[in-house]
Structure formats: C-alpha cells, structure tokens
Structure 1
Amino acid sequence: MRWGAGFVSGDMTRTAVLALLARRGPLSRAQIAELLDLSPATITQGTRRLLAEGLLVEEAPRPSQGGGRPSIPLALVPESAHTIGIQVAHEHVTGVTCRLDAEVVHSFRHTFDPAAPDALQTLITLIRTEIDEARHRGLPLAGVGVAVPGIVDPETGTLRMSVRLGWNGLPLAARLREALGVPVFVDNDISAVTAAERLYGPGADEADFLLAAIGQGIGLGMVLDGAPYRGALGAAGEFGHMPVQPDGPVCVCGNRGCLESLVSTEALLRRAHDAGILPAASDLDDLGTAARNGDPAAVALLQTAATLLGRALAGVVNLLGPRSVVVIGEITALWDLLGEPMHAVLLDHLLPCVRDTTIEVRPWDDELIAASAARVVLAAPLAAPRQRG
C-alpha cells in the first residue's frame, strides 16, 4: 500500500494501521507490515503505543503455518474511541457518530439555513448536542470532523470560499474548536470522502484514483501517488467549474458555462423545467421516469449531459492517468440512462494508453459525507495533515 512521499510519518503509520484493521479484521504484526509495506520495527513501535492507549488488543496466539513461532493477531477495540462527523449543506446538516472501526452507531439530520444571521451558532448548538449525547452514553470522543462544500485551507481549516453556503474567509475550524472544546478538523466535503475511501474503501488498495461526485454540485477528489491531492491553497478538485460551454448558463460561482451549470442534478432539473419536460415541482426520479418512458426531450437532455460529462472526464483522465474513477452522488440514480452514452464519449476522447481506466459507480448514501467527515478525525494526518486539533 503506497502512501506517498512524506506521508508515512509516525502519525500516518498510526492512521494506516487503524484503518487496515478496520477493513481487514485482526492481523499479526508481520501481516500488517507486509500489507502496509513498512518495516516490522516500525509496526512494532507503532502498535505498542496503540496497545498502551487501549485502541488495540492482542488476541490468542495462532499456530504458524510454517511451523515457527505462533503469531499474535492484533484487533481493534471498536468502542475505545468515537468520532462525530458533520456534513454542512445549503439546506441541511447531517451528522453521524462512528466507532473506531468506522461503523456508524448514530445519525441525525436537521434543516439548516447558512444565510441566517445565527447560522454558525446554530451549527455549534447542533454539534454540542451530539457531543453531550456521546458523553451521556459514556462514549470516548476523539474529536469532530466537519465537511463543507467549498475551498478549505488545508493548514488552518479556514473556509476560504463556499458559493453554496455563502461563507467566505471563515476560520471555521478555529471557531468550532474554541466553542466546543474538542479537537475539530474541517475539510472540503469531497476531499473528506476521498480520504475516507483511501483509508476504508476499495480505494485503499489503489495509489492513483479519482472520485467524481455529481449531485447538486460537482467535485473531484484525487489520490495521486498514494496521497490525496488538494493543491497549494486547497482549491484543487473544482471539477464542476471546468469551463465547457462559452455561451452556457451562468454558474453559481458567477462564471458562465461551467460543467456544474449544465450537468449537475440541479441544472438538469432546471433545464427540464424550462423546456417543459417536467412541471416545476418535479424531482430527479421524475426526470428518470420520463426518459425511461421514452420522452424524446428527456432522453435528449440526458444524452447531452452524458456527452459533456464524458468529454470532461476524458480530459481529466488524460491529464492525470488514474487507474480508476469512482462516481458517486445523486446522479447515480440516473446512471442506467447516462452510463452507456457517457462511457462511449469517454472512450472516444481517451488516449489509447489510458483506455483501460475503470469507471466504478457507487449507489448514493445520504450519510456518506457525514460518515467520511467522522473518519477525517482518525485520518487527520492524511486528510488534514497540518491542522491542529
């Protein structure tokens, strides 16, 4: 498992060991060292600290297959630490509490108005309620992870810009840390999902992959040479703001013809309403039903979206050369309609040497971003390497 130059520090070893055991279950020190491609001495030293902290426990020895000394498996103690994850969106706040093994044990959802004068205080109150509940239940709390749509400074957790929330230059991590009195890590929502995928998902075995999130907004998570890539100012991955149509509609960012203004779920519904395909109160399921029933205008709308998306993805794949692309988001509900035409366009524009790049589509989970934010706390050295909890 390659983690990228400079990322396998003591803290990163800790993160990698805990995530590996969460995915694979009990393993011996030798197995951990082999799977993480680290020295046995490094693993022995790192696991000694984790055992002392009560995060790991030694299980009964197992006979060696080669007839040597029995191996002693190490296992997580799932209840030894918990994290709270928060997704802040422009209409709601979703939250979860996770155990050390990344299992969700509690979740909630509240309506939320980021434009309200007391929006930040409302967010603080919601998180404090969850912290109090965790403490009431006697759950050891490692910290809080917060995922937001927008550009987050990886060093400070400051939300530089969020056109969705209307929050700009907000030192969100510092404000939450001061108000809540617990470690808090703030990350871009798609970056949080990408870091969690790198640690806990199938992407844990991939050193180079992309994660394309397509819903009301569009973002791109990137793992390059084993580590998430965020750019110098945390602004990497704004895939939705790639210009694709000079005379296209005005985007929420203020520019014209961005990919997001044409193929996000919000844009598709708006265009379907404007074209008279659907009434104003319709949703994504209604658009899918119209296309599956053969409505030519609905089919044409989705065909155009598939073409634009395929071209844009081809450009990114040609540029970065990942082994795989994972597609998530509300758009996946329409993938039976979009997938085949998008893939055909993608292949038409890919360089021959990267045409074996796989496209994997995951069913959308409304709690995914919040759960990933919870895992950012454990993944802090990887997900937010310079923020201080």
Structure 2
Amino acid sequence: MRSPHVGQGSNSANVRRFNERLVLQALRRAGEASKADLARLANLTSTAVGSIITSLIENGLIEVTGRRLDGQRGQPASLLRLDPRGAFAIGVRLDRTSIETVLVNFAGQMIARRSHDLLLPQPPVAQEIVQRDIRDLLSRLDARERSRIAGIGVAQPYNLGSWLRELGLPADTFRVWNDVDFAGELGRALALPVFSENDGNAAAIAELFYGCGRQRDDFIYLFLGPAIGGGIAIDGDCVRGLTGNAGDFAVMPVPPSRLPSAAQPPGKWDILLSRASLISLRRHLRHYGETVDSRADLEACIARGHPAVEEWLDDCVDALAPALRASLCVLDLRAVVLDADVDAGLVDTLMKRLRVAVAATAPEASITPELVRGTFGPDAGALGAATLPMFFNFSPRAGILMGAGAQTQEVSHAAN
C-alpha cells in the first residue's frame, strides 16, 4: 500500500506543475502582464503566483520586460513575458506531397525552415532528408539554446497507405508507410524526445496553443490541404479519441461529386476528402488542361479566377456544409476555425460561401456557429508539429492533476 505521505507529496507536485502551466498559458495569451494580472487571469493567489514567477524566471522561461507606466499610484508594476529563448522545438510535417521541417522558439516564432515539394519518398529516403534538415536547423542554435530543446514533433496523416484511389496517388509508394514507425526511428537516431500526432490534430494544437486558442478553448478546426484534416478542441485540450483520429473529417460519408473530373465511388457514398481537398481541386483544374504541379501553380489558377476553381468551390461547399452541420450537432460547439495550405483569396471565398450554406441547413432552434479564419495558413502543419513538444511540456492539461498514471501516459505518447 502506498504511503499517504508519498501520495500527498506527489499530488502537491502535480498541482504545482499545473499552476505553473496556468501562469504560462495566461502569459502566452496576454503577451505581457504584471504579477497582479497573472494572479487574476490564472485565478491564483498573489502569493502563489509570486512563487511561481520566481521559479519560472530562474528556469529561464519568462523574463521581465520593463515596468507599467500608466499613471497608477505606488511603485510601477513589473511586466513579464515568455522568454523566446526559454525553449525551442523542431517540427516535421510529412505529407503525401511534401516534407517540411521547422525550428521554433518558445514564443511560437519560426526561426528557420526547410521544405521539399515532392511526392513522399520511401521511408529510408524520407528519414535521410529529415535528419539532415534537423541537424542543419540545430546548427543555428548555440550550446545553451540546444540544451533547451523541448523535443521534436512529427505530424503526418494516419493511414498514409489508404484512400489512394480517392487521392489519385500510386499505391506502391505509400502502402509501405503503414508498417513504419517514422517518429520512433527519428528519436533513436537523434537521441531526442519525439512527439507524434496526426497532422490534423497537430495543426489544431498549434491553433489552440499559439493562435485563436488564446481567446477560446472550444472549437472545431478544419484544414484544407492535399486532403482535408481537422481536430476538436474542448476545454483547452485536443480530443484524440481511441486511436488518435478524433476529428477525422476526411472520411465522413458524402454523396458523390457531380464534377466531370471526379471518379465515381464503388458504392452509393463517397468520402469528404474526394470533394473537399486541394487534390480534388488540382484534379479538376487538370481536367481543364491546366498544369498544377506545385502550390504556386495552384495559387496562380485561384488568383486569376479560373472557372474550374468556381465549379470546385460549389462542389466543395455542397459536401462540406452538411458534414460540418452534422459535426456541430454532435459536439455542440460555437466556433469553427478554417485554414488552408494555399490562399490567393481561396480561404475568404470558401468561408463566405460556407457561412451561407451552414446557415441555410440550420435546423429550427439551432444557431449558426462563428466561422474564424485560421492563424497560420501553409505553416499550420509544420508549426503544429513543432507545437507538440511545447504543448505536452507546457500546457495546463487536466491529466497533469491525475498523478503518476497520467505522467506515464504522457511519456508513452512521446515515445510512440
């Protein structure tokens, strides 16, 4: 039987960790704040916050930036902020058509990046590319900064070898990825902790940690990439589900597309990624004879208002609006964040049409959610990967208060 003193001490340490992360979250959301501000925002006593601030300054995670000069009586309050050099993280985004590796600091600023616009190669080749890029990025840090690496985040679509017919991709290239532990191999090669997550959840976590999550704890997140990814944020945490695939909007059933470029499904229903994805847009543009081999080619077609883009938008919204409405009925959330791998006006146009379509499908007594533009655009996937080590090390997730069992789960998640 465990000693009650051990349990009490362990619980006290967990509460302390949780409160430290509450203060870091409050400071991340405020940007700059005084001790009194942080006590109010974190709902802690001034004494508790004072002790936490001292500890966080000693650990190099926050810094004093000056004093508040607003005409108040008495001694001006010291202002604090996150120290950008307090922690660093590497993010690796593996997609079916690209590899990106980025270095970010504690404030979420991207310091450097390496990107490769190519069909995802075989796993050993991808490992070689990623390891070389990581070593190159780490060489930009001095010895002190390298000692403050929180870890590496890897974001990739789960089931890379699936849905290849819908995406129009070669099966032999991707099916081998289903049996590869890319993140585990990367961690062993570089001797750094690696946090792995599907790309939709990773991008949602970046939005939660550094983006619109600074103002709201609950939202559905949708990211329009080669496929469509997503995540669900509730109470300031990302909902993972049994297999880590909660928010897998890509495989929601939808009626088949009526576009002449779309392949017909073998059954009555198709899946959302066949209609709401950049690969489906590329497919439709190629049907018109356009060359769209890169993101730049795609944005050029969007910018000049190609008729195929308009046709695809109609088809995309026709599938996406009811899928989104169904999700809102289940989750009862009031905000939807939408972002994409390309822009050139596409995101704003899609949001405008989606607002109208979602409102038109609202049942009686149901409200239309707020549609919010995502913060990071094409950087969302890579920044999401880099946010994983930051999120799991510095976010006030409720699991911290559950004690040793939750800590074991966190370590296990990092190792997978």
Q: Same fold (TM over 0.5)?
A: yes
| TM bracket, shorter-chain basis | 0.7 to 0.9
Q: Is this contact kept in 1: 2:87–2:145, CA < 8 A?
A: no
Closer, same or farther: CA 356–74 of 1 in aligned 2, 3 Å: same
* Matched residue, 1:200: 210
Deviations 1:203-251 (A, max 9, x none): 2221211111012111121111332111122011110110102688478
Which among 75, 78, 85 is matched to residue 79 of structure 1?
A: 85
**2:102 counterpart letter in structure 1:** V
> Residue in 2 aligned with 1:244?
254
Q: 1:37 to 1:350 in 2, by over 3 A?
A: farther
Instruction: Describe the SS at the equivalent of 2:270.
Output: coil
Shift of 1:17: 3.1
Q: Which residue of 1 aligns with 2:10?
A: none
1:171-204, Cα deviation, whole Å (9 max, x unpaired): 3433222211122222222212222222222222
Q: Which residue of 2 aligns with 1:288?
A: 302
Unaligned runs of 5+ in 2: 1-13, 165-173, 398-408
Structure 1 equivalent of residue 392 of structure 2: 380
How far apart, in 2, do the equivalents of 1:54 and 1:21 lie?
Answer: 14
Q: Which residue in the other structure is 1:154 paired with?
A: none
User: Contact between 2:153 and 2:387, CA under 8 Å: does it hold in 1?
Assistant: no
Contact residue 285 and residue 292 of structure 2 kept, 8 A: no
- Specify the alignment match of 2:369 in structure 1: 357
SS of the aligned residue for 1:230 comes to coil
Answer yes or no: is the 8 Å Cα contact 2:211–2:374 preserved in 1: no
User: Percent same amino acid among aligned pairs?
Assistant: 24
- Which of 262, 268, 288 aligns to 2:281? It is 268
Q: Which amino acid aligns with 2:317?
A: A
- Contact kept, 8 Å, 2:68 with 2:78, in 1: the verdict is yes
2:27 is aligned to 21
2:99 — aligned with what?
Answer: 93
Match of 1:223 in 2: 233
**Secondary structure at 1:325's aligned position in 2?**
strand
Deviation at 1:130, TM superposition (A): 2.2
Which of 262, 265, 271 is equivalent to 1:258? 271
Return the letter of the residue paired with 2:95. A
Q: Amino acid of the residue matched to residue 392 of structure 2?
A: A
Which residue, out of 309, 316, 323, partners 2:334? 323
Task: Classify the secondary structure of the residue corresponding to 1:175.
Answer: helix
Cα distance, 1:279–1:93 mapped onto 2, change above 3 Å: closer
- Deviations 1:149-192 (Å, cap 9, x if unpaired)? 323xxxxxxxx766485422433433222211122222222212
1:5 alignment counterpart: none
The match for 1:35 among 17, 20, 41 is 41
**1:147-166 mapped onto 2 (5 Å cutoff):** 147-151=154-158, 163=162, 166=175
Q: Any idea what the Cα deviations from partners look like across 1:279-316, whole Å, max 9, x if unmatched?
A: 354743455367x46x4x65444212221111211111
1:143 and 1:184 in contact (8 A); partners too:
no
| CA-CA distance at 1:266 after TM superposition | 0.8
1:259 positional shift: 0.6
Scaled by the length of structure 1, the TM-score of the pair is: 0.80
Q: How does 1:136-215 map to 2 (within 5 A)?
A: 139-151=146-158, 163=162, 166=175, 167-215=177-225
Structure 2 distance, partners of 1:339, 1:63, is 42
TM-score, scaled relative to structure 2: 0.75
Q: Is the 8 A contact 2:138 2:146 kept in 1?
A: no
Letter in 2 for 1:347: A
CA RMSD of aligned residues (A): 3.5
8 Å CA contact 2:212–2:375 kept in 1: the answer is no
Q: Does residue 147 of structure 2 align to residue 134 of structure 1? A: no
Distance 2:249 2:47 in 1: 42
Contact 2:102-2:113 within 8 A present in 1 as well: yes
Q: Secondary structure at the match of 1:118?
A: helix
Matches of 2:236 and 2:376 in 1, distance apart?
Answer: 25
Q: Which moved more, 1:301-310 or 1:121-130?
A: 121-130
Moved more, 322-331 or 119-128: 119-128
